[in-house]
């Protein structure tokens, strides 16, 4: 800092311009790094959200399929391309527990919904007594059921394959799950 002719100290215009230039370069680098980190976080969340939803859905339907009443014919599970309905014990697996029907379906708003319907009489169910939204941005729910009856061992085996497609950007994402349900036929 040179002295001015009046004896006062100060910065020259060149020093000020150099300091501002260095500050602008550092600020640009920090902003670029911050912006890149935010974009990476957004992309990671876009990938993880459908995965978390699929895992939750698969664990919920697996738990429900394990609570199918013993006297239910698994060949009668109502599964189509966009929904699956089946009976389960309402409170754990024991013969005196009430039986409810569970339905997994995709709503018009592209939400994956689990509904519980109580049976008022054999063959008659109520409107949805309880609904739970499992996830959103569902493009398609596919449920396929293949049943094989073995009369020799008196068992029925069902392979249930579930596909959930999400409407993600830039590309849709699909997750698959398969479960084998085996049941001893009642006389």
Band of pLDDT at residue 161, cut at 50, 70 and 90: confident
Q: What is the CA radius of gyration of the chain?
A: 30
Is the torsion defined by CA of 156, 125, 57, 40 positive or negative? positive
pLDDT at position 136, please?
85
Q: What pLDDT, on a 0 to 100 scale, did the predictor assign at position 29?
A: 94
pLDDT, mean of residues 168-185: 80
Say yes or no to pLDDT of 36 above 90. yes
- For the record, the structure tokens of 168 come out as 């993600």
Higher pLDDT, 2 or 96: 96
Calculate the average pLDDT of the chain.
81
Whether residue 170 has a cis bond before it, omega within 30° of 0: yes
pLDDT at residue 152, rounded to an integer: 81
Read off the pLDDT band of 128 (50, 70, 90).
low
Which pLDDT value is given to residue 18? 94
Give residue 14's Cα distance to chain centre.
Answer: 59
Residues 6+ apart with CB under 8 A from 158: 74, 75, 77, 145, 146, 147, 148, 180, 181, 182, 183
**pLDDT of 61-90, one tens digit each?**
888 887 877 666 666 677 776 788 888 877
Question: Among candidates 22, 56, 47, which has minimal Cα distance to 135?
Answer: 56
Whether the predicted model's global pTM rises above the 0.75 cut: no
**Average confidence (pLDDT) over 95-102:** 75
User: Residue with structure tokens 């449920």?
Assistant: 143
């Amino acid at each position: 800092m040179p002295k001015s002719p009046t004896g006062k100290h100060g910065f020259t215009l060149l020093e000020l311009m150099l300091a501002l230039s260095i500050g602008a370069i550092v600020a640009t680098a920090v902003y670029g790094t911050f912006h890149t980190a935010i974009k990476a976080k957004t992309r990671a969340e876009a990938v993880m959200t459908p995965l978390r939803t699929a895992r939750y859905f698969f664990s919920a339907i697996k738990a429900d399929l394990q609570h199918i009443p013993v006297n239910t014919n698994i060949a009668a599970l109502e599964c189509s391309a966009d929904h699956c309905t089946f009976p389960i014990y309402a409170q754990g697996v024991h013969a005196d527990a009430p039986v409810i029907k569970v339905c997994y379906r995709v709503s018009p708003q592209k939400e994956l919904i689990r509904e519980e319907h109580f049976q008022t009489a054999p063959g008659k169910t109520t409107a949805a007594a309880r609904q739970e939204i499992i996830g959103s941005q569902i493009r398609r729910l596919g449920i396929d059921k293949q049943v094989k009856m073995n009369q020799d061992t008196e068992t029925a085996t069902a392979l249930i394959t579930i596909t959930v497609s999400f409407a993600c950007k830039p590309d849709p994402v699909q997750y698959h799950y398969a479960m084998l349900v085996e049941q001893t036929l009642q006389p």
